[in-house]
Structure 1
Amino acid sequence: MFLLLAVVSLVGSCFGQAAFRCPEKNGFYPDPVQCDLYYHCQGGELEEKLCPDGLLFDDGNPKNERCDTPVNVDCGDRNELQEPKPSEGCPRANGFFRHPDSNKCDKFVNCIDGVMNEMPCPPGLIYDDDQSSCVWLTETTRKDCPLVSKRDVLEDGFSCPEGEVMGPNGRTLPHPTFAHPEDCSKFYICRNGVTPQHGSCSGGQVYNEESFKCDEPENVPGCENWFDEDKKKP
């Protein structure tokens, strides 16, 4: 993550020097209304400053002059921002944004001083605006990405269900598995939550849909006698 210090000084605004007073003689302090506007107090005298477009002032430490990307800054009630300075592929001059081509949702752009730099997501992930990062398909709220709406269907009619699947530890499973409706020793795997494929247990085990793993038959209700010769399914 890159950091840029503010380089623009302002002279007077509706929230300018007439309204703001230095809390301490020295330090860097946020404007109470605008998240990318802040003040440098030195010996009780203040200078009004503005973060580069797209970056926000991080008020975590008054000793540090720090502007960062929105995902790293909690603005609280400071909801206003400077007017954007867009350029080709960049909604603002700095920051991380979705790729302008919605068909390339597995890529994003890193804008630096208005220059667009195309970046790839790791295999199987797409860029999510809300999180400003690459995520699994099951973790995004994006509706415009063709990869999200694409659902492959196996020859037996199985397709991966939409929505997140939570594992036993309460975390989202990136490659969830599902029980086969007729065969205790088989199951389905959904790669990245959307691409289905067959799976099977080995060593006399059956699939346990509670643990999402292969298990001993006696631990899976309904499959206890699956490998008994007189109970075995064709």
Structure 2
Amino acid sequence: MKVLLFVAFAAVANAQQFKCPVKDGLYEDPIQCDKFYECYDGIVTEKLCPDGLVFNPTIRKINKCDQPFSVDCGNRLELQPAQPTGPCPRRNGFFAHPDPKVCNVYYNCIEGISTKQSCPPGLHFEEFSGTCVWPATAGREGCDASETMVLKDGFKCPKEGQSDANGQLVVHPKYPHPNDCQRFYVCLNGLEPRDLGCQIGEVYNDETQRCDAPENVPGCEDWYKDDSAPKPVAGKKSS
């Protein structure tokens, strides 16, 4: 009880030190980024944003508590004590996976309830911006490429990537299978491989990067001729 009384007394004392401007409104604390003051008819009330959010004086919304990556706190570096729950170091916000080797998974925390989310293939989560970015931009060390970057047959996406006829880097390049005319690989964002296959009766044409009739692909003309049964297709159909 004494501690609660002391905290309440300190809050009142701090509020009394803050002098309201002539205009009613919400004003930031000069020291603590998640603390602000509500001024109405010259009466000041000290308030705190929900844990994990900070006060943003630049937005016109009634609720001015915002994500830290959207606010320039300047010298207002202090924050209220954290209230961690599960993978959420604070009750609200976007946070990286607690394992530093897992760079493509993050958590969206709302009032202590976490939702696990994954970045698109090849991207890493960056807490500074709260978004998924290219690994070079994120600058995170010790990330595990994971088994998803290498297929069971040993294929992995070439580092040099692939360019189109205009010299532009292809976002999702395709590559032929070395032994199977019906199969091909797609590298999502140039990094994460997928093993796909053409529908029965077609083979992959590396020149057009599409599934095509066998007679249009040199070396694959007789792919289906000697089969008494259709060859199995790896992955999902593509056209």
- Are 1:160 and 2:162 an aligned pair? no
Work out the CA distance in 2 between the residues paired with 1:112 and 1:51: 13
CA RMSD of aligned residues (A): 4.3
Work out the CA distance in 2 between the residues paired with 1:193 and 1:80: 42
* Of 55, 58, 62, the match for 2:56: 58
Scaled by the length of structure 1, the TM-score of the pair is 0.59
Work out the CA distance in 2 between the residues paired with 1:51 and 1:40: 12
In structure 2, the partner of 1:130 is 128
Scaled by the length of structure 2, the TM-score of the pair is 0.57
Q: Aligned residues: percent identity?
A: 41
In structure 2, the partner of 1:23 is 21
In structure 2, the partner of 1:167 is none
Which segments of 5 or more consecutive residues in structure 2 lack a partner in the other structure? 1-6, 151-156, 161-168, 174-186, 194-205, 209-239
Range that drifts further, 32-41 or 105-114:
105-114
In the superposition, relative to structure 1, how do residues 40 and 147 fare at CA in structure 2: closer, same or farther (>3 Å)? same
- 1:151-209 Cα deviation digits (max 9, x unpaired): 98xxxxx9638xxxxxxxxxx99789xxxxxxxxxxxxx9646579xxx999xxxxxxx
Contact kept in structure 2, 1:151 and 1:160, CA below 8 Å: no
Is the partner of 1:81 in helix, strand or coil?
Answer: coil
Which segments of 5 or more consecutive residues in structure 1 lack a partner in the other structure? 1-8, 153-157, 162-171, 177-189, 203-234
In the superposition, relative to structure 1, how do residues 47 and 106 fare at CA in structure 2: closer, same or farther (>3 Å)? same
Tell me how many residue pairs correspond in the alignment.
178
- Are 1:33 and 2:50 an aligned pair? no
- Are 1:142 and 2:143 an aligned pair? no
In structure 2, the partner of 1:73 is 71
| Structure 2 residue identity aligned to 1:17 | A
Q: Which has the larger radius of gyration?
A: 2
Work out the CA distance in 2 between the residues paired with 1:55 and 1:121: 22
- Are 1:113 and 2:119 an aligned pair? no
Work out the CA distance in 1 between the residues paired with 2:110 and 2:86: 12
Work out the CA distance in 1 between the residues paired with 2:104 and 2:61: 39
